[in-house]
A and B are shown apart, each in its own frame.
Chain A
Amino acid sequence: SQQGEEDPQALSIQEGENATMNCSYKTSINNLQWYRQNSGRGLVHLILIRSNEREKHSGRLRVTLDTSKKSSSLLITASRAADTASYFCATDQGGKLIFGQGTELSVKP
């Protein structure tokens, strides 16, 4: 399977703490994207990092990409209860998005 792996599968933290999620993939990519999905809902695009970029920021989000290790991380700083959701990485492989298995984040108030 070309599907990537994410860890941890589940993460529970207190409001205000930082949350870090990791994603690994297997093949060469054009870019890597992170999405959020609230339970039973559609996907929300968070951030896209291209294969020639190493780090990208968007508000409280920080994404890193290491193409030599075929891995990426998503850091959410100063988490809020509203950040509770599933987070997926997706790699663009020749125009197709291949999703990782996801991390279920729970932020407790």
Chain B
Amino acid sequence: GAVVSQHPSWVICKSGTSVKIECRSLDFQATTMFWYRQFPKQSLMLMATSNEGSKATYEQGVEKDKFLINHASLTLSTLTVTSAHPEDSSFYICSARPGGNSYNEQFFGPGTRLTVL
């Protein structure tokens, strides 16, 4: 149980295009999902917290108009990188937390590697 999937697992796009990444909780309902970014040889940096049915909360320094997050259902959150540029190339990882208890464990997706040419 507690499986989180991401799609696609990798994507290559041209500079200026937009890319959508999906994060799904397969066997549980996730009131809250999180999006992280990881550059090579670095740690995960929390980008935003996504609550079902409400606007995402972005961490300081993360542009909300650049990284659009939609959490339209209890099992799906999407991250859209708009007008992607080479500096947006990174490993994007989502996590999902079951229910509304903030003490619940988060479950991580396998990540999406974005390469912007």
Contacts and interface: CB of A to CB of B under 8 A. Distances in A.
Given A30-B102, A96-B34, A96-B49, A43 B43 contact: no
A42 B105 contact: no
Interface residues of A, number: 23
B108 interface: yes
Contacts, number: 51
A21 to B, nearest CB: 13
B98 interface: no
Q: Closest 5 CB pairs between A and B?
A: A95-B102, A42-B110, A43-B108, A99-B44, A99-B43
Interface of A: 3, 30-31, 33, 35, 40-43, 45, 48, 88, 90, 92, 94-102
18 contacts: A3-B43, A30-B102, A35-B108, A42-B93, A42-B109, A42-B111, A48-B105, A90-B44, A94-B102, A95-B103, A96-B34, A96-B46, A97-B46, A97-B95, A99-B36, A99-B44, A102-B42, A102-B43
Given A43-B108, A48-B105, A95 B95 contact: no
Nearest to B102: A95
Contact of B44 (A30, A45, A88): A88
Q: Which of A43, A45, A102 has the most CB of B within 10 A?
A: A43
B49 A45 contact: no
A98 B106 CA distance: 12
A107 B110 CA distance: 24
Given A42-B93, A94-B102, A95-B102, A88 B43 contact: yes
B32 interface: yes
A95 B43 contact: no
Residue of B46, B93, B95, B97 most packed against chain A (CB within 10 A)? B46
Contacts of A101: 42-43
Contacts of B109: 42
